[in-house]
Amino acid sequence: MNKYAKESLFKVLMIVSVLIIAASLLLILGICIVKGGYVILKDPKLIVTAPGPKYLLGGEGGLLHAILGSIYMVIPSTIIATFLAYLIARFLQVDYIRQKWSDRIRVLFDVLWGVPSIIFGIFVLNVLIRIGGRGCLLAAIITLALLQLPIIVRYMDEALSAVPNGIRESMYSLGATRLETSHVIAKYALPGITAGVLLGMGRAIGDAASVVFTAGASNALPTGLLKSASSLPLLIFMQASSYYPSVRDHAYAASFMLIAIILLLNICSRASAKRFRRFTNGGKNL
Amino acid sequence: MKIPSFRHPMDKTVKWIMVAVTGATALLFVLMVLLLAQRSQLVLSETRVGDLFLSSTWDPERGQYGFLPAVIGTFVVTAVSMLIAIPVSLLSAIYISEYAPPKIKTMVQSFVDVLAGTPSVVYGLCALLVIVPVVRDFVGPLFGVKTTGMCILTASIVLAIMVFPIIISITVEAMTALPLGLREQFLSLGATKWQLIEIVLMRAAGPGIISGVILGFGRALGETMAVAMVIGSKNVITLSLLSPGQTLPSLIVGSFGEMMSVPLQQSALLFISLVLFIIIIIFNILTGYIKNYLKKRWRFE
């Protein structure tokens, strides 16, 4: 086989594989949007009704509990994780700690990133058993915060490290403390920081494995921090292979909402990157 | 007279808060391993480790917990999914970075971003709707096997689709970062584009590509929900890809209902998660070493 034949052979193979990937993607988006959208359009009240007493047996009711549960879990956990991650990521910069040590801590967070989310769930469940608690909203928030922390730390760390040294040095030469320098550096790194936070949020909102043990997974509206709760991905997991078609339909509706949220987060991430770029010295490097 | 200022004490305080938070997180990591190890003591005192890994009977009522089917299942599912995922995603990543016009490139990349952010339960749901019937009605009869569609093959296909975006995005990133001079020099010698890719670019971008593949492997190894939804959850060792199986994470999720009541089973499941945890840790550390080694070995400057 000469080199030109080989070239065209691999070109065909490449196009085939791109088509495979595009097809699987369109299929997933199509199923969620068409099938889920159809369920929601047919009965829009689904989104605002609480589940009835025989909900899982094909009884009436909507999926408000999962929507509220997702919101109550994800927003506080993202706020907690962002706050902690900022402190850690800022600490990992050269002005606080030596390169050798910060590299070691980075390896730790890389490992934590790779840990399957179910292990975080098991860990929190263990702590719960130890203190005699049950699965509740608070435990789910803590688990999701743990899950997001390594992701957000990694992105923030990358964004903060990419800030030109000139900015740091000119702040210090004016006599600013490290804390005051942080404000300027953080503003410069804002596009990267928001991207990381939104990415962590996206991971948390779609994760079922970590909350399956810790949230309690009830079909009641979440009423308190120590009460059990449910979330959209949990609802999909529990109801996807249900015997009752009407219960299965709710899983499709939930997947539609999840996909919509993920798309929205993606758009937000792009928009914020564009908007916050004006802080970075007019887009020019120092 | 010196004016008292809170700036420096403030700076010091915040620094110590940072030290405390970072230290606490690192400590938490150690605590996770210790707690899992301590809780799996019970099953280790009842059964020998060798028995746990080499026995294939999972019978909680008689206190027998053999992980062998789940261990084998995990490796088979991961291996098959990587066999599907690696060629397809590498070829399409090469197409995206080298051949595709810029317009298609940005479009495909935003697609890949969405795919990467899609929750695993959604993959599981779509697989239940599409792949399971296809495997049941077409692939099964093709090989003359009766199958419910919930089988190892289905789980591998789902995992492969989940791994695509990871490998693609890292490979594209690694290949786009290569200097233009590298391409121009080789093309000026009369090479075709594919020769350039095969001989030069794949090696120069090698460390990036391999770390992408390993990252995908780690994701496939630890993926829980999508697998648990389609694998059929049966604790048997099978040679056929079309029969139901079990992986370590899906075993944990599948038995969680009974987990609370029996202390011994609880301990057994915690031992599994400890094993999974340690595998992932070793894996991640190895990745770092391999990447550094290849960077030195395939240096192009």
Dump pLDDT digits (tens) for B72-121. 888 889 999 999 999 999 999 999 888 888 888 888 888 888 888 888 89
Q: What is the predicted pLDDT for the residue at A215?
A: 81
Identify whether the C-beta of residue A46 lies closer than 8 Å to the C-beta of residue A257: no
How far, in Å, CA of A103 to CA of A101, rounded?
5
Contact A88/B26, CB-based, under 8 Å?
A: no
Distance separating the N- and C-terminal Cα atoms of chain B = 60
Are A33 and A146 contained in the same domain?
no
Contact A237/B128, CB-based, under 8 Å?
A: no
Domain-located, residue B75? yes
Are B26 and B117 contained in the same domain?
no
* Non-local CB neighbours of A242 within 8 Å, separated by 6+ positions: A56, A248, A251
Q: Which residue has the higher pLDDT, B301 or A202?
A: A202
* Non-local CB neighbours of B247 within 8 Å, separated by 6+ positions: B70, B73, B74, B77, B155, B227, B231
Q: Which residue has the higher pLDDT, B57 or B228?
A: B228
With CA atoms as reference, the chain A residue closest to B249 would be A118
Are B196 and B140 contained in the same domain?
yes
Its domain, for residue A151, covers: 48-283
Choose among A18, A256, A16, A222: nearest CA to A136: A222
How far, in Å, CA of B194 to CA of A3, rounded?
8
Say if strands B64-65 and B58-59 run parallel, antiparallel, or are unpaired. antiparallel
Q: Which residue has the higher pLDDT, A187 or B61?
A: A187
Its domain, for residue B203, covers: 49-297
DSSP B159-223: HHHHHHHHHHHHHHHHHHTS-HHHHHHHHTTT--HHHIIIIIIHHHTHHHHHHHHHHHHHHHHH-
Q: How confident is the model at residue B261 (pLDDT cuts 50, 70, 90)?
A: low
Question: Phi and psi at residue B2, in whole multiples of 5°?
Answer: -80, 130
Question: Phi and psi at residue B20, in whole multiples of 5°?
Answer: -65, -45
Are A131 and A247 contained in the same domain?
yes
The Cα diameter of chain A in Å comes to 71
Both tokens assigned to A113: 């990133």
Highest mean pLDDT among A183-197, A267-281, B232-246: A183-197
Q: Is the pLDDT reported for residue B135 higher than 60?
A: yes
Query: How many structural domains does chain A have?
Result: 2
Are A60 and A141 contained in the same domain?
yes
Q: Which residue has the higher pLDDT, B145 or A211?
A: A211
Q: Is the pLDDT reported for residue A276 higher than 90?
A: no
How far, in Å, CA of B134 to CA of B204, rounded?
40
Are B28 and B72 contained in the same domain?
no
Are B34 and B56 contained in the same domain?
no
Are B72 and B152 contained in the same domain?
yes
* Non-local CB neighbours of B87 within 8 Å, separated by 6+ positions: A17
How far, in Å, CA of B256 to CA of B269, rounded?
9
Q: How confident is the model at residue A105 (pLDDT cuts 50, 70, 90)?
A: confident
Are B29 and B53 contained in the same domain?
no
Residues of A in contact with B125 (CB under 8 A): 31, 236, 240, 251-252, 255
Contact B280/A88, CB-based, under 8 Å?
A: no
In 3-state terms chain B splits into helix, strand, coil percentages (rounded to 5) of 75, 0, 20
* SS3 (DSSP) at A112: helix
Are B62 and B182 contained in the same domain?
yes
Asked if A219 has any chain B CB less than 8 Å from its own CB, the reply is no
CATH (domain of B112): 1.10.3720.10
Residues of A in contact with B199 (CB under 8 A): none
Q: What is the predicted pLDDT for the residue at A285?
A: 47
Are A192 and A72 contained in the same domain?
yes
Closest Cα in chain B, distance from residue A49 (Å): 23
Which among B14, B120, B122 is the nearest to A32, CB-wise?
B122
- Amino acid type, B218: G
Q: Where are the alpha helices (DSSP H) in A132-216?
A: 137-161, 165-173, 178-188, 190-206, 211-214
> Which ipTM did the prediction report?
0.86
Q: What is the predicted pLDDT for the residue at A286?
A: 44
Q: What is the predicted pLDDT for the residue at A230?
A: 84
DSSP B47-74: S-HHHHHH---EEGGGTEE--HHHHHHH
CA distances from B81 to A3, B153, B156, B216 (A): 31, 8, 4, 10
Both tokens assigned to A202: 């996206």
Are B92 and B129 contained in the same domain?
yes
* SS3 (DSSP) at B231: coil
Query: How many structural domains does chain B have?
Result: 2
